[in-house]
Structure 1
């Protein structure tokens, strides 16, 4: 992707659209095409719509823009495209041209972007209060969906911004970006990442917790996304690190956009490079792993993750099959189109059920919150974790036992 700021120029959109050769190989990989069997709900159809909008051949009617808003941004189409169309850039530029959707719950998303506000929400709305409040809210409303996504347990303590003493060289200094929702709801996995990276010989600098701008970029809020990108660049420059990692693959594309030329990844690739330094205790358990779309199509290191998990002796590991693989969370999509998100989620949970696991893993916080909400409705009771949490619990040097 190009560096910020994003110019929402029609000429740029038309040029990107012209890369498409209309072969249709993207259609079988697209979750929304599988859901609707409509050309307008496919990457090829959305490219044609974006080109027509950019050239002034059609008007951005509510019906037309809904097809673009339905896109999950899973980037599965990019993985299979023989013409190497930069679909992610095309989608981002088109949404910037259109501006935020009328369905976008701006105030709610603004709350989610601020870790302190999210922690306050946990304190003010314990599970019993949420149950009372949700019945006062319209069914399928964004606010009610957001309440359903909140975990029933209190979040772990957040890591503070810090630089740790270490014998590692400056070249081995890793900046860990906590993010916004993940810094609260995935605090345990953040700590697990730090433990694993340190065990592999890296020095970890924890950046301040704030939003990288992914939610805004996904929703066409260009000015807010640019402000977030500036904050990312400032925090990165202050860190003195050589690599930047996030445990949330949904943030990767936005962080890479804000920091062109910087090595930005999730921890799995760096850990895999030093896997010989990591030793794990056995775990005799059947575990299903859901690979988020961004893990497969943006991070593109799902095999490194699988290799690390296979280092746990006696672990019976099964990958949840597909396609389509998307759970339907997709940033703010779950808040804007909860019915569609639930259909995709239930299809994925059906595939998990067929594996009959004792534990379920998924590396993206949005996916796990969405899957957990569906599990509560269905009565499924698998422990649901970030893979880093499981790896850290089985790490020989931690002395912890997996519950």
Structure 2
């Protein structure tokens, strides 16, 4: 890739902000070994410092937003591995969001499909309808009739074969305890309802009162797709739901939502419930389980939630459970929000690398806490005929909880 100028210039926001962020990069290249897309392509334009140079050139008007340039930006997974190793502390995630906002949504973005995914009531209805029509038996043949690059093909292949669990709800909430609000999200409210119910059981056992916000999209897919107005509408809805909750802290079992929720609610403590559970681990006791589990740690759990240590601490409290984190690299499974729909071939390459690493551990079960990652990995497991069920770690922990709260049903 041709080196692009990074000289400073007094520009107005947002372009000026992009240039300011880009100027922090010293072009050292320490980000390259941890970048999943650079590992795929070995192309400087597919690396963080290459994308920073592209963003700077676009913001300064030194380059036009041609399709080939924006493709490199669109390929970025937003995993933020680069931020963790950057000696200059470049705010790469913010730079990426601002640059995509400047460019606007990609013309190739599957708008109708994403609108469906963001509507949990409609999604739940269609999932139940698909169950009644035995979609799990014919989704594969149907998907194979669609073009390889079709986002609808990817959506069908990533569709779970089992029907969604019942909506999450709180039973017998105990007043007078620290009050948490649980954000259900969109896809997670349908396909991770079991994990959300598990979180409530565990949090109540640890001494918290939990209420549940309405189910809707936090705006992450729009924010990272450059759809600024839609992302702001979602953020406003988050703020309204939070204000009505009366809670002191907000939790989400989906690490992929945490960054967007924190952006919408500055000054509010937004956590992965694993952090709270680990801090109260002494109150939780688990039945033994003699199983060998591979633990996939989503990028957002490691780099945004930073709850990976808390998760390992909790899982290792289950007697007999052998917990084996997947080796890194690979650094990302390729799901990355809507990336698995927009770039299915690239996402599949990264997923298959992850599954190859999992296979070296010879697991009986694969755990992953992000619903997009788990659906994506599950599709690869099905395609390869691997004998590993997938679960959210919270579901396993709640299943093994020795003394659930009184009158509380298991998920």
Q: Is the 8 A contact 1:163 1:204 kept in 2?
A: no
SS in 2 for 1:355: coil
Note the C-alpha offset of 1:265. Answer: 1.0
Name 1:197's counterpart in structure 2: 203
Matches within 5 A, 1:144-163: 144-160=153-169
Could you tell me how far apart the structure 2 residues matched to 1:340 and 1:398 are?
43
Q: Is the 8 A contact 2:182 2:250 kept in 1?
A: yes
SS in 1 for 2:360: helix
Name 2:401's counterpart in structure 1: 395
SS in 2 for 1:140: coil
| TM-score, with structure 2 as normaliser | 0.93
Could you tell me how far apart the structure 2 residues matched to 1:212 and 1:385 are?
23
Is 1:252 matched up with 2:258?
A: yes
Matches within 5 A, 1:129-208: 129-131=138-140, 133-160=142-169, 165-169=173-177, 172-208=178-214
SS in 1 for 2:346: helix
Q: Is the 8 A contact 2:291 2:320 kept in 1?
A: yes
Give every structure 1 segment of 4 or more consecutive aligned residues whose post-TM-superposition deviation is greater than 6 Å: none
Note the C-alpha offset of 1:139. Answer: 2.7
Is 1:224 matched up with 2:230?
A: yes
Residues 82-116 of structure 1 show CA distances to partners (whole Å, capped at 9, x for unaligned) of 11111000000000001111221001000000011
Residues 243-282 of structure 1 show CA distances to partners (whole Å, capped at 9, x for unaligned) of 1000000001000000001000110101111000000001
Higher mean displacement: 355-364 or 135-144: 135-144
SS in 1 for 2:50: helix
Could you tell me how far apart the structure 1 residues matched to 2:118 and 2:338 are?
11
Note the C-alpha offset of 1:51. Answer: 0.3
Unaligned runs of 5+ in 1: 1-6
Name 1:121's counterpart in structure 2: 126
Name 2:372's counterpart in structure 1: 366
Q: Is the 8 A contact 1:280 1:395 kept in 2?
A: yes
SS in 1 for 2:403: helix
Matches within 5 A, 1:41-80: 41-80=46-85
Could you tell me how far apart the structure 1 residues matched to 2:50 and 2:144 are?
39
What is the root-mean-square deviation of aligned Cα atoms in Å?
Answer: 1.6
Residues 279-307 of structure 1 show CA distances to partners (whole Å, capped at 9, x for unaligned) of 00011111110000000000112111100
Could you tell me how far apart the structure 1 residues matched to 2:75 and 2:385 are?
28
Equivalent position to 1:314, from 313, 316, 320: 320
Residues 216-259 of structure 1 show CA distances to partners (whole Å, capped at 9, x for unaligned) of 01100000000000000000000011110000000010000000
Could you tell me how far apart the structure 1 residues matched to 2:319 and 2:29 are?
43
Name 2:6's counterpart in structure 1: none
Aligned residues: 392
Note the C-alpha offset of 1:136. Answer: 3.9
Could you tell me how far apart the structure 1 residues matched to 2:210 and 2:172 are?
6
| TM-score, with structure 1 as normaliser | 0.94
Residues 159-188 of structure 1 show CA distances to partners (whole Å, capped at 9, x for unaligned) of 25x69531443xx10110000000000010
